[in-house]
Amino acid sequence: MNITGEDLILACSAIGAGLAVIAGIGPGIGQGIAAGHGASAVGRNPGAQGKIMATMLLGQAVAETTGLYGLLIAMLLLFVKPLIG
């Protein structure tokens, strides 16, 4: 078995892309917790629904950027192949 430098780079890029996609787990869990607490807060105080929903959606949008950055890195590693000259 003869492994060249290019094969090693491609294999490491695939592993790195898989690890980058794992970054989507954290935002998913965080957004679920935020939505649950937001629904609970609206249940306790229906009059404040507008403020609660606006704050919750802003927080979820900020949390989602982490998952999107991980997806962007994975796509770059898989399709652009920046390490192969």
pLDDT tens for each residue of 14-72:
999 999 999 888 888 988 998 999 999 999 999 999 999 999 999 888 888 988 999 99
Mean pLDDT over 72-85 rounds to 83
| Cα–Cα distance measured from residue 77 to residue 13, given in angstroms and rounded to the nearest whole number | 5
The CATH H-level (homologous superfamily) assignment of domain 7-77 is F1F0 ATP synthase subunit C (1.20.20.10)
According to the model, what pLDDT value does residue 5 have? 84
Residue 8 has pLDDT above 90, yes or no: no
Q: How far apart are CA 19 and CA 9, in angstroms?
A: 15
Check: pTM over 0.85? Answer yes or no: no
The per-residue pLDDT for 85 is: 66
Identify the band that residue 1 occupies on the pLDDT scale cut at 50, 70 and 90: confident
How far is the C-alpha of 85 from the C-alpha of 80, rounded, in Å? 11
- Which one, of 8, 7, 24, lies nearest residue 74 by Cα? 24
